[in-house]
Amino acid sequence: MKKIITLLTIILVGISAPQLHATTKVTGVLESVAAAIRTGNSKELAKYFASTVEITLPEKDGSFSKVQAEMVMKDFFTKNIPSSFSVNQQGNSTGGSQFMIGSYKSGSRVFRTYVLFKPVNGQLFIQQIEFETE
């Protein structure tokens, strides 16, 4: 009986370990992206861009390559230096996508921020990022 309980425990731990690791990985990506936005670091943010990123900003809107998207975000952060960024909500969308909604403050301006992550080969990449004036 003791051997059966031990075997079942090993099986359950083995099954739940990959899920725990995946959850930790997702949390790490979301935290890293939030930190990059909070500090206005376009180079760090670009590490999580998909090959093509849809960007919506008050002065610019479009679909950009990873390199172009980094430059667009650098310009935005330069013009709108962050004073704070807080994540208000995060969760799952269909197909394994993740999202994050937050508030980005720059001086007296506040932007509602939306980031959509899509999984590619087991990793999350930013597919879409929006900064809308509140």
Which pLDDT tens digit goes with each residue over 38-73? 999 999 999 999 999 999 999 999 999 999 999 999
Q: How far apart are CA 125 and CA 116, in angstroms?
A: 8
* Percentages of the chain per state (helix, strand, coil), in multiples of 5: 45, 40, 15
- 121 vs 102: CA distance, rounded Å: 26
Pairing assessment for the beta strands 123-133 and 49-56 based on DSSP bridges: parallel
The number of residues making up the chain comes to 134
Top CATH class, 2-133:
alpha beta
Q: With cut-offs at 50, 70 and 90, classify the pLDDT of residue 25.
A: low
Domains of the chain, by residue range, sit at 2-133
